């Protein structure tokens, strides 16, 4: 029977204390195979992808909420400026501008110049 005390009079160190984390406990211990390492890496990547998808989902929800809030603000501002039917009033103003532009285009160019011809001569007299 062998003694557990070495020749210096000390107890031998515990083998578990000599093994660093991730190292095999003894030289002939099997290390993780390439397949196991690849599976572990794949699991880590899949976890990261799930986290990123969750973050993207949160960002999408935040963006949708911000857009809805901005649309509500614009709608409220239009109601304050133009009354109860802001879009009808804007459509009426656009239609009136279109009709006025059509009338001005249909006038002969000479008539328009005749209307403005007197203005430069009046400004020279001053």
76 and 90 belong to one structural domain: no
Q: How confident is the model at residue 33 (pLDDT cuts 50, 70, 90)?
A: confident
Tokens for 71? 């649309």
The verdict on 70 and 87 lying in the same domain is no
DSSP for residue 1: -
Residue 27 located in a structural domain: yes
Q: What is the pTM of this model?
A: 0.40
Question: How many domains would you assign to the chain?
Answer: 2
Give the domain extent around 106: 82-118
> What sign does the CA torsion over 78, 83, 88, 94 have?
negative
Residues 48-89 have pLDDT tens digits of 999 999 999 999 999 999 999 999 998 888 778 777 887 888
Contact 78, 86 (CB under 8 A): yes
Confidence of residue 19 (pLDDT cuts 50, 70, 90): low
- The end-to-end CA distance of the chain, in Å, is 131
User: Which of the four pLDDT bands, split at 50, 70 and 90, describes residue 21?
Assistant: low
Question: Does a structural domain hold residue 6?
Answer: no
Q: What is the mean pLDDT of residues 102-114?
A: 77
Dist. CA 59–CA 52, nearest whole Å:
10
Question: Of all helices (H) and strands (E), which one includes residue 118?
Answer: helix 109-125
Residues 98 and 75 in one domain: no
The predicted pLDDT at position 1 comes to 45
Q: For residue 12, what are the contacts with CB-CB under 8 A and spacing of at least 6?
A: 4, 6
Torsion of CA 71, 72, 74, 79, to 10 degrees: 140
Q: Which residue has the higher pLDDT, 121 or 96?
A: 96
């Amino acid at each position: 029977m062998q003694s557990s005390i070495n020749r210096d009079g000390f107890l031998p160190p515990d083998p578990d204390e000599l093994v660093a984390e991730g190292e095999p406990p003894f030289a002939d211990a099997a290390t993780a195979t390439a397949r196991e390492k690849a599976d572990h890496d794949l699991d880590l990547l899949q976890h990261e992808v799930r986290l990123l998808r969750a973050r993207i989902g949160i960002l999408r929800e935040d963006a949708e909420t911000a857009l809805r809030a901005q649309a509500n603000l614009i709608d409220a501002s239009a109601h304050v400026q133009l009354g109860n039917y802001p879009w009808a009033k804007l459509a009426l103003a656009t239609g009136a501008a279109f009709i006025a532009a059509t009338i001005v285009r249909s006038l002969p160019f000479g008539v328009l110049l005749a209307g403005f011809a007197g203005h430069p001569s009046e400004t020279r007299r001053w």
